[in-house]
Amino acid sequence: MITGSLVALITPMKLDGTIDKQKLDELVEFHISAGTHGIVAVGTTGESATLTYDEHADVIRQVVEKVNGRVPVIAGTGANSTHEAIDLTQRAKEAGADACLLVVPYYNRPTQEGLYQHFKAISEAVDIPQILYNVPGRTACDMLNATVIRLAELPNIVGIKDATGDLARAKELIESTPAEFAVYSGDDPTALGLMLLGGKGNISVTANIAPQQVAKVAELALQGDAEAAREIDAKISPLHKDLFVEPNPIPVKWAAAKMGLCEQSIRLPLTELSPEYHARVLDALKNAGVKD
């Protein structure tokens, strides 16, 4: 089972918008050196919505090769078309990913039965560990716990990234799914609480900027040391909030550029962080101790 701090990795780009392969390699090394327990490539934070299929597969392949087995690599392969999700998942398997992250289909708003059949089809088509991803604030479709519980019984479906921020709901999932089914947080502000309830880790945006701290919080939480975990989490909690002053990954890519981790480049229709938020995000970085 994959556990701990799993960074939802940004996809670094050059100023012309092309993927910066050198910076991508450097980011992988940055996270492994900092103690990050796993890397999620080409998820929402990795701008999966604006990468071409070939770029998507290339980033996954490059991350897998650079990691070289040192930590698990989870590939974002979700889509609102079942056959496209199957194709992306197959490509990720061929690239050597350890698992795939499959977002709830967006825009077309399927029923709960449609969600079940969508994920069932992927689980049957590609033999690789698959983690569901429920983020209704982005998809306009909420996968209810009852549907997740059904899916948890299927082969290859091994967990869920719950980005609802609802701890009562997460607690129900933890208690109602098999012991080998992992519930991960997809919401940095409530991630510590979810792990203390029995969640297995945090698929984190904040980890892009504060990997050591997020990893330590996860380690302590999974050991049951709530007091020590809360002490560290309190210091980075402004990041949990201020990295979402505009839609992710706008603030985190801006912050990463200010830290020298990548160029200041993001693909349309997303744009650079609005100037009115610059001082706020910089203050959060300084207060968290990740930037002078």
| 277 is annotated as an active-site residue | no
What pLDDT, in 10s, does the model give residues 133-148? Answer: 999 999 999 999 999 9
Determine the Cα–Cα distance for residues 163 and 185; give it in Å rounded to an integer: 6
**Is 203 flagged in the annotation as binding?**
yes
**Is 250 flagged in the annotation as binding?**
no
- Residue ranges of the chain whose pLDDT lies below 70: 292
Domain hosting residue 199, numbered range: 4-234
Q: Which of 185, 125, 120 is nearest to 157 (CA)?
A: 120
Q: Is residue 286 assigned to a domain?
A: no
246 Cβ contact partners less than 8 Å away, ≥ 6 residues apart: 273, 274, 277
Per-residue pLDDT, 229: 98
Q: Is residue 288 assigned to a domain?
A: no
**Where do we find the tokens 């709960």?**
112
Are 16 and 24 a contacting pair, CB within 8 Å?
no
How many CB atoms are closer than 10 A to CB 133? 26
Residue 157 in tokens:
């479906």
Which CATH number characterizes residue 132's domain? 3.20.20.70
Q: Which of 9, 70, 2, 80 is nearest to 39 (CA)?
A: 9
Q: Is residue 64 assigned to a domain?
A: yes
Q: Is residue 28 assigned to a domain?
A: yes
Q: Is residue 247 assigned to a domain?
A: no
Q: Coil, strand, or helix at residue 155?
A: coil
Q: Is residue 179 assigned to a domain?
A: yes
Are 120 and 102 a contacting pair, CB within 8 Å?
no
pLDDT above 90: percentage of residues in the chain: 98
161, 200, 216, 253: the active-site residue:
161
Q: Is residue 263 assigned to a domain?
A: no
**Number of domain units in the chain:** 1
137 Cβ contact partners less than 8 Å away, ≥ 6 residues apart: 163
Does 269 sit behind a cis peptide bond, omega within 30 degrees of 0 on the bond before it? Answer: yes
133, 184, 200, 216: the active-site residue:
133
**Where do we find the tokens 């409530």?**
190
**Where do we find the tokens 């560990």?**
129
| 161 is annotated as an active-site residue | yes
Are 185 and 4 a contacting pair, CB within 8 Å?
no
Q: Is residue 192 assigned to a domain?
A: yes
Q: Coil, strand, or helix at residue 124?
A: helix
Per-residue pLDDT, 289: 86
What pLDDT, in 10s, does the model give residues 38-54? Answer: 999 999 999 999 999 99
